C-alpha cells in the first residue's frame, strides 16, 4: 500500500471515525495525509473532536501493524471517493462509501445486479444462472452479494460465461461468508473483484447488510430480484435501487410459493417483468440483442438429432418429472434415460431429486 492508502487505513481503523468524518476531513484538509499531520485543534476546526484525533492509530499500534501486512499479502487496495478509479455510478448516490477495500480488479463495463432468496428453488437458481451467463456474454458485469442461493447462482453464471462479476461483502474483506462459498470466493478473485466497505476483521452482522445492499444497487444500472419473500433482505436492495434511480426488475413466481410474495408485490407496484434476458437488454442496452445467445442455443440444438431434440425442447425452467417427459415424447423408460443422461453430460439439462429435470445447469 502507498502512503495515501496507509493514511486512509489508519483513519478507518480509528474507533468512532466513520464515513461522515472522512468526508469532513477531506473537505477541510484536502487529503488524508494532511489530516493525519494536523493537530487536535485543527480537527476541531474541521468539525471533529480533539479526542477523536487522539485515537488515530500510529505506526506502532498493534492492530495497524497486524492488519497492514495482512492486506498487503492479499493484494488489497483501498479505494476512496476521491480516487479516479472510484466507480462513477456509485459516486452519484446520495450516501456513497467514503472508501472501500478492493481485492481483484474493477471492470470497465456496465454493471447489473442480481439478488434474491438464500433458500431459492431449483427453477430460480437455474434461471438466475442462465440470465447472468447471457448478460455476461453481452459484456455486462454481474454484481451480487456472495450469499447463498440466488447470489451464488448469479456469480456462477457470470463465471461460466468467462465474464465479469463483483461480489460485495457485508463483512471484512479478509472473511469468506458464508464459509461454504470459499471456492466461489477464490474463483471470483482469479479475474474479477471482491469489495467491502467494512474494516478487516468485521464479522457478518445482520446490521451490515443494508449498507452492503446500497452498494450493490449503487454500482449497477439496474437490479433484478429473483425469489424474495415478503420480508426478504433482497427487497431492501430493491428499495435502494428505486431511491437511487435505478431500473428495478423482478421475475414472477407461483402464488403459493412464499419466495414469490415479495417479487410478485414488486411487479404489482411497477417493477419491470422479466421472463427472458431480452426484457433486461431491451430496457437498459437497447442497442444489444440476444443474438449471441440465440446462436449458441441454435448451435446446441443443431447438434441434437431426434428424439433427443424433442426431449430437450420439452424440458424448461420448471422441474418436469421423467414420466411426464416420457409421455410427451412417447419414449420407453430405457430410451429416455439414455437421452437424458447424454443431455446432462452436455450441460443442456440438470437432474433433480425425485426424477425431475430442469433446463440448464444449477
Mean pLDDT of the chain: 92
Contact in structure between 95 and 121 (CB atoms under 8 Å): no
Residue 239 corresponds to which cell in the numbers above? 428499495
Residue 209 has a pLDDT of: 93
pLDDT at 144 exceeding the cut of 60: yes
Contact in structure between 6 and 72 (CB atoms under 8 Å): no
Residue 96 has a pLDDT of: 97
pLDDT at 67 exceeding the cut of 70: yes
Q: How far apart are CA 203 and CA 182, in angstroms?
A: 16
165, β-bridge pairs: 142
Pick the closest to residue 52 from 33, 24, 83 (CA basis): 24
328: helix, coil or strand?
A: helix
Residue-wise pLDDT tens digits, 205-263: 999 999 999 999 999 999 999 999 988 889 999 999 999 999 999 999 888 888 889 99
Residue-wise pLDDT tens digits, 150-186: 999 999 999 999 999 999 999 999 999 999 999 999 9
Report pTM: 0.81
Question: Which is higher by pLDDT, 214 or 299?
Answer: 214
Residue-wise pLDDT tens digits, 11-52: 999 999 999 999 999 999 999 999 999 999 999 999 999 999
Mean pLDDT of 41-67: 95
Percent over 70 (pLDDT), the chain: 96
Residue 221 has a pLDDT of: 97
Amino acid at each position: 500500500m502507498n502512503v495515501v492508502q496507509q493514511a486512509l487505513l489508519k483513519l478507518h481503523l480509528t474507533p468512532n471515525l466513520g464515513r461522515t468524518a472522512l468526508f469532513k476531513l477531506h473537505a477541510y484538509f484536502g487529503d488524508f495525509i494532511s489530516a493525519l499531520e494536523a493537530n487536535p485543534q485543527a480537527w476541531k476546526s474541521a468539525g471533529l473532536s480533539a479526542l477523536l484525533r487522539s485515537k488515530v492509530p500510529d505506526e506502532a499500534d498493534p492492530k495497524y501493524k497486524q492488519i497492514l501486512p495482512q492486506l498487503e499479502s492479499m493484494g488489497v487496495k483501498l479505494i476512496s471517493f476521491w480516487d479516479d478509479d472510484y466507480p462513477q455510478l456509485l459516486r452519484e448516490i446520495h450516501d456513497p462509501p467514503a472508501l472501500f477495500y478492493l481485492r481483484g480488479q474493477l471492470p470497465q463495463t456496465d454493471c447489473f445486479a442480481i439478488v434474491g432468496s438464500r433458500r431459492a428453488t431449483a427453477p430460480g437458481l437455474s434461471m438466475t444462472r442462465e440470465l447472468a451467463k447471457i448478460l455476461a456474454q453481452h459484456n455486462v458485469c454481474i454484481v451480487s452479494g456472495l450469499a447463498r442461493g440466488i447470489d451464488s447462482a448469479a456469480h456462477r453464471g457470470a463465471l461460466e460465461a468467462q465474464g465479469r462479476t463483483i461480489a460485495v461483502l457485508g463483512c471484512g474483506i479478509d472473511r469468506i461468508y458464508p464459509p461454504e462459498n470459499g471456492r466461489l470466493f477464490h474463483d471470483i478473485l482469479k479475474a474479477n473483484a471482491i469489495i467491502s466497505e467494512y474494516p478487516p476483521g468485521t464479522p457478518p452482522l445482520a446490521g451490515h447488510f443494508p449498507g452492503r445492499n446500497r452498494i450493490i444497487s449503487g454500482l449497477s444500472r439496474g437490479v433484478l430480484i429473483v425469489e424474495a419473500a415478503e420480508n426478504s433482505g433482497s427487497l431492501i436492495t430493491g428499495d435502494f435501487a428505486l431511491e437511487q434511480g435505478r431500473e428495478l426488475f423482478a421475475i414472477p413466481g407461483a402464488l403459493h410459493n412464499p419466495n414469490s410474495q415479495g417479487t410478485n408485490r414488486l411487479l404489482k407496484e411497477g417493477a419491470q417483468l422479466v421472463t427472458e434476458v431480452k426484457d433486461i437488454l431491451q430496457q437498459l442496452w437497447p442497442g444489444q440483442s440476444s443474438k449471441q445467445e440465440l446462436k449458441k442455443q441454435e448451435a446446441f440444438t443443431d447438434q441434437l438429432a431426434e428424439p433427443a431434440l424433442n426431449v430437450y425442447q420439452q424440458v424448461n425452467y420448471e422441474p418436469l418429472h421423467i414420466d411426464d417427459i416420457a409421455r410427451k415424447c412417447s419414449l420407453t423408460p430405457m430410451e429416455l434415460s439414455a437421452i437424458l443422461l447424454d443431455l446432462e453430460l452436455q450441460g443442456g439439462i440438470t437432474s433433480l431429486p425425485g426424477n425431475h429435470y430442469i433446463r440448464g445447469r444449477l
